[in-house]
C-alpha cells in the first residue's frame, strides 16, 4: 500500500513579504512551490495539501474596510476564510495540474472547502490573541472599536491590530471525504487557512465563528483523520533551531517527542513562530503518526532523503 502524507504549505510561500500581492506574483510563487509537492507523489505518497492564508485574508480585511467607507456591509471572518479557501485552492490546484501535466502524470486534483469544528466555549473566545489584518494608528483603532466593536490592541510598537480568537480544532467535517479521495489517488487541497471555524448552535445547526484556526493544528488533525504516515510542515527555514537568532544558534536534524517537549518548555520555540508547528507535530505523533518533517519548500526533496529538514519521530 502507498504511504499517505499531509503537506502544510505556508501562506507566505504564495504571497511573499515585500511583494505587492498581485495575482501574477501569487501564481508565480505557487508555481515555484508545487515542484516539491510533485516530489512527494514521486516518492509514492498519496497526498493532501493544506495551506495558510494570513497575507491573503489580511488583504481581504483591507478591502472590507474600503468597502465599508462606501456603505457596503462587511463580511464576517468565517466567510473571508471560505473565500480564501476557494481562491487559493484554485491557484494551487491549477499550478499542480500544470506541473503534473509537464511531468506526464495524470493524478486528479481537487479542492475541498473544509468546515472545521471548534468548541464555542474554547478559552480563546474570552481571551483573543490572534492578530489579523493591517496595522492601524491609534485614532483609526479607536474609531474601529467604536463602530464595529473590534478587539484591537497595540502590537509590539508597530501600531494597532485587530485580534480574534484562535480556537483548537476538534473535528474536520469533510475529513473522511478527504481520506476517501486521497486513497483513490486524488491530490486533495483541504483546510485552507486552518479551515472555516464552525460550531453547533443551540438548535444543533452549524454556524460560522469569527475566529482563525491555526493551520498547523488543523493539518495535524487532518493527518490523524486520513491516517497519514507523514506530516510535512513547510516554513521559512530549512531546519528547526534552538537558541534561534543568538550566537549559539544550533540547527536540529532529529528530535524525539520528549526532546521536542523539553525544548518547547524551555522557550526555544516561541508561540508566534515555531511553537505551533512543534505543538502540532507532537499532537500528530501522539495520535499515532510516524514522522513529522519541518523544512522549507525548497528542501522538500532533500528532506525526504534525509539530507535536510528536521525529522521528529515518536
Cβ-count burial 239-263 (b if 16+ within 10 Å, e if not):
bbbbeeeeeeeeebeebeeeebeeb
178: which 3 cell numbers? 478527504
- Residue 236 · residue 244 · CB < 8 Å: no
DSSP element (H, E) containing 48: strand 45-51
Active-site option among 130, 179, 224, 239: 130
Active site residue 54: no
Identified catalytic residue from 4, 179, 215, 239? 215
Active-site residue (options: 4, 224, 239, 277): 277
What is the SS3 assignment for 197?
strand
Residue 130 catalytic?
yes
Cα angle value 102/104/110 (rounded, 5°) = 80
Contact 75, 64 (CB under 8 A): yes
Active site residue 81: no
Q: Give the residues across from 251 on adjacent strands.
A: 241
User: From CA 162, how far away is CA 155, in angstroms rounded?
Assistant: 9
Of the residues 2, 3, 12, 151, which is catalytic?
12
d(CA 56, CA 274): 21
Please say if 146 is a catalytic residue.
Answer: no
Residue with cell string 527555514: 237
What is the bridge-based pairing of β-strands 291-295 and 310-313? antiparallel
Distance CA 108, CA 182 (A): 10
11 given a catalytic annotation: yes
Catalytic positions, written as ranges: 11-12, 130, 215, 277
Amino acid at each position: 500500500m502507498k504511504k499517505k502524507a499531509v503537506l502544510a504549505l505556508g501562506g507566505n510561500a504564495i504571497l511573499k513579504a515585500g511583494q505587492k500581492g498581485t495575482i501574477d506574483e501569487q501564481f508565480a510563487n505557487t508555481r515555484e512551490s508545487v515542484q516539491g509537492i510533485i516530489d512527494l507523489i514521486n516518492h509514492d505518497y498519496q497526498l493532501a495539501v493544506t495551506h495558510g492564508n494570513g497575507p491573503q485574508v489580511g488583504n481581504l480585511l483591507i478591502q472590507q474596510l474600503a468597502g465599508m467607507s462606501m456603505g457596503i456591509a462587511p463580511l464576517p471572518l468565517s466567510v473571508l476564510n471560505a473565500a480564501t479557501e476557494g481562491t487559493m485552492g484554485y491557484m494551487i490546484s491549477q499550478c499542480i495540474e500544470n506541473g503534473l501535466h509537464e511531468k506526464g502524470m495524470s493524478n486528479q486534483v481537487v479542492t475541498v472547502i473544509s468546515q472545521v469544528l471548534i468548541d464555542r466555549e474554547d478559552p480563546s473566545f474570552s481571551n483573543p490573541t490572534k492578530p489579523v489584518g493591517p496595522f492601524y494608528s491609534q485614532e483609526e483603532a479607536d474609531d474601529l472599536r467604536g463602530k464595529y466593536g473590534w478587539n484591537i490592541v497595540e502590537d509590539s510598537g508597530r501600531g494597532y491590530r485587530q485580534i480574534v480568537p484562535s480556537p483548537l480544532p476538534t473535528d474536520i467535517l469533510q475529513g473522511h471525504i478527504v481520506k476517501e479521495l486521497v486513497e483513490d489517488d486524488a491530490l486533495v487541497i483541504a483546510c485552507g487557512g486552518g479551515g472555516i471555524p464552525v460550531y453547533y448552535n443551540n438548535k444543533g445547526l452549524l454556524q460560522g465563528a469569527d475566529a482563525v484556526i491555526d493551520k498547523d493544528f488543523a493539518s495535524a488533525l487532518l493527518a490523524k483523520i486520513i491516517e497519514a504516515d507523514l506530516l510535512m510542515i513547510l516554513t521559512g527555514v530549512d531546519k528547526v533551531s534552538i537558541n534561534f537568532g543568538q550566537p549559539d544558534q544550533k540547527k536540529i536534524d532529529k528530535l524525539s517527542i520528549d526532546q521536542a517537549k523539553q525544548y518547547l518548555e524551555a522557550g526555544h520555540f516561541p508561540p508566534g513562530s515555531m511553537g505551533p508547528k512543534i505543538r502540532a507535530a507532537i499532537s500528530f505523533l501522539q495520535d499515532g503518526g510516524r514522522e513529522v518533517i519541518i523544512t522549507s519548500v525548497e528542501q522538500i526533496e532533500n528532506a525526504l532523503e534525509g539530507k535536510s529538514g528536521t525529522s521528529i519521530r515518536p
